[in-house]
Amino acid sequence: MSKANLFREFNLPFGNLHEARSRLAELEQRREMLQRQGREMTREFRERYPTAPAYPAKYSDRTLTGWRWRRARHRAVSFDLLGEAGRELLDALPDPVRRQWLDFERRRLFLNLALALADYERLRLRDFLAHVERLRELERAGQ
């Protein structure tokens, strides 16, 4: 089977390696745009609520959930705003503020999904292209 036919056989969203590399570049740009949006969301929240007991923050671990809620003055402690601890915090807020925090939570959820999808595809595509390159090297060495 030809290499071009493999792209069609597996119904990939690109038709050749050049298009795959282009898709990887697009994903890198998308990731940067989403990261900027996350930083903007955090900046906006902290400007609006400078003394809040918690805030959305970027975690640099390898999970696909980079933006989480962090308690103020607790560097590494994240929590789920919709979980028990988050509900207690939300219940202590005035209703208009609570609604605004829930809007931030909605934005955070959508941001994390968009980032996770882009990151997963980017990681898989990067691995795929690296493996294809190694395969080519082996084929050339065998000639």
Q: Please report the pLDDT score of residue 1 as a whole number.
A: 61
Decide if 2 is inside a domain.
no
Cβ neighbours of residue 8 closer than 8 Å, sequence gap 6 or more: 15
Q: Please report the pLDDT score of residue 118 as a whole number.
A: 95
pTM of the model: 0.87
Q: Which residues does residue 79 pair with via DSSP β-bridges, in sequence order?
A: 69
Could you say which residues of the chain have pLDDT below 70? 1, 4, 75-76
Decide if 8 is inside a domain.
no
- How many domains is the chain built from? 1
Decide if 133 is inside a domain.
yes
Domain residues for the domain of 113 are 16-141
Q: Which residues does residue 56 pair with via DSSP β-bridges, in sequence order?
A: 69
